[in-house]
Structure formats: C-alpha cells, structure tokens
C-alpha cells in the first residue's frame, strides 16, 4: 500500500537496516512501503550469496519476500535474530503501527526477535504519540470493544476498505478500528488498558520494542537508539 513520505527516504532507511543482517540470521520481515525496501535489499544480498531465512509479518510481506527470492520459515521452526519493520509514528522510542492492518502479526514477530530495527521517513517522527491507534478486533466483539474504547477516552472509527464495500478485513479475518486518543502521554498505560479489553486481538502501540530507528532523510540515514 502506498502511503505518505518520500520513497527515496524510505529506501535509504530500509537499505540501512538491511545492511545489518548477517549470514545465518533469521529475519522478521515487516509490512509496508518502507519495510518493502528492506526486503528488496535483502533479496539482492541473497542473490549475492547471503544465507538467511525470513519470517514474514503479513500476506504482503510474504509476497514481497517470495518475489525477492528470500527463503522463508515460520516461528514454529525458528526465532528471529532481527526484525525490520516500519511504523506510522514514533516518539521516545515507542511506536504506533498498523497502517497496513498487519500489527497483530507484526507484534508477534517483532517481539520474538532479539532486535527490532524500525525503518521510517522523517514524517513519522513526533514529540509525543498522537496518531490514532489501530486496533484489530474480533468481528463479534465490535460493539462491546467500541463501547470499551469510548469509555477509555478514545474515538474509534471502523476502518473502511478502499476497494471493497464495507470494512477492512485483516489477514486474520478480523476488523480494525482506528482509535483517536489525542496525545498519548503514557503509552505503556494505554497499551495495558487496550490489551485488557475482551475481543481486542491486538493494538498498534509498540512500547519499548525498538532497538534502533533508522530514519531515512533526503541525503542520508539518522539512526535513533532509544
């Protein structure tokens, strides 16, 4: 899916993270237009002899990895040494993810990895998180989850599909709401609140997971270490 930010900056970020991957590594493969650049670069490195296996975080990441010629495995078989993934916003090392509705599997793979390298363009940087938080939920739980999110101070909006009547349906067969909480002063607290709502499959707050954030710019890459 095409989203905002310069593609050149995204490419720099993706390639910078891909360069940290070494022979023999298991690599979590993130979703989105910036992570796709990392996957492309890894594919080139595999062509040149790099021996790795990837664990995709979504249908699209799997398709990108297959196209790039990266051998794949699963979390049943291996644990990622490193994961490379994008973000919709970052502040103080914490992330909001889920612009591609892939955050449930992304969080599983990214959390399992020894190190998560986040790849972004400068439009993703904020002083404080305030982007609406994507929340994947079971379809049968839509109303009670909506009520609970409103009680927690959020304004949830069911994500509509772009090329289909009705809502986005995730790779896992669930729905997504984007929940506006305004400025998120204590992300860990909100993350705990969201995780405790019955029917929530996963939310897009990634707290304390990033080891490095590679910010591609117009002429280079800035690496932020939280």
Contacts 24+ apart (CB under 8 A), 50-55: 50/21, 50/23, 51/23, 51/24, 52/21, 52/23, 52/24, 52/25, 52/26, 52/27, 53/26, 53/27, 53/78, 54/26, 54/27, 54/28, 54/29, 55/26, 55/27, 55/28, 55/29, 55/80, 55/109
Q: Does 103 bind ligand 5RP (CB under 6 A)?
A: yes
Q: Are strands 155-158 and 210-216 parallel, antiparallel or unpaired?
A: unpaired
Q: Does 30 bind ligand 5RP (CB under 6 A)?
A: yes
Q: CB 190 → ligand 5RP: shortest distance, Å? A: 17
Q: CB 147 → ligand 5RP: shortest distance, Å? A: 25
Catalytic member of 67, 77, 106, 212:
106
Rounded Cα–Cα distance for residues 132 and 177 (Å):
9
**Identified binder of ligand 5RP from the candidate list 26, 27, 31, 181, rule CB under 6 A:** 31
Q: CB 91 → ligand 5RP: shortest distance, Å? A: 15
**Identified binder of ligand 5RP from the candidate list 56, 80, 93, 99, rule CB under 6 A:** 99
**Identified binder of ligand 5RP from the candidate list 12, 17, 25, 33, rule CB under 6 A:** 33
Residue 20 or 144 having the CB closest to ligand 5RP:
20
Residue 217 near residue 12 (C-beta atoms within 8 A): yes
Q: What tokens does 103 get? A: 């955050």
77 has catalytic annotation: no
Q: Does 12 bind ligand 5RP (CB under 6 A)?
A: no
Contacts of 164 (CB under 8 A, 6+ apart): none
Q: Does 109 bind ligand 5RP (CB under 6 A)?
A: no
Residue 53-92 contact track with ligand 5RP, rule CB under 6 A, x = bound = --------------------------------xxxx----
What does the H/E/C string look like for 148-159? HHHHCCCEEEEC
Q: Does 187 bind ligand 5RP (CB under 6 A)?
A: no
Residue 15 or 106 having the CB closest to ligand 5RP:
106
Rounded Cα–Cα distance for residues 156 and 150 (Å):
7
Residues annotated as part of the active site:
106
- What residues line the site for ligand 5RP (CB under 6 A)? 3, 30-35, 85-88, 97-103, 106
């Amino acid at each position: 899916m095409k989203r905002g930010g310069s593609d050149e900056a995204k490419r720099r970020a993706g390639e910078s993270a891909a360069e940290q991957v070494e022979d023999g590594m298991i690599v979590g493969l993130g979703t989105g237009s910036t992570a796709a650049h990392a996957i492309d670069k890894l594919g080139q490195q595999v062509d040149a002899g790099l021996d790795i296996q990837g664990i995709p975080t979504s249908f699209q990441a799997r398709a990108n990895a297959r196209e790039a010629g990266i051998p794949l495995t699963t979390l049943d078989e291996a644990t990622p040494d490193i994961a490379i993934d994008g973000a919709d916003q970052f502040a103080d090392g914490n992330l909001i993810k889920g612009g591609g509705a892939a955050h449930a599997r992304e969080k599983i793979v990214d959390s399992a990895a020894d190190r998560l390298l986040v790849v972004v363009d400068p439009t993703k940087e904020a002083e404080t998180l305030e982007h609406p938080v994507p929340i994947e939920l079971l379809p049968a739980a839509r109303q009670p989850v909506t009520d609970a999110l409103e009680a927690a101070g959020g304004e949830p909006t069911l994500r509509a599909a772009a090329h289909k009547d009705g809502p986005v349906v995730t790779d896992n067969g669930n729905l997504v709401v984007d929940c506006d909480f305004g400025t998120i002063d204590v992300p860990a607290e909100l993350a705990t609140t969201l995780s405790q709502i019955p029917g929530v499959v996963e939310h897009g707050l990634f707290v304390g997971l990033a080891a490095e954030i590679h910010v591609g710019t117009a002429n280079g890459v800035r690496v932020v270490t939280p």
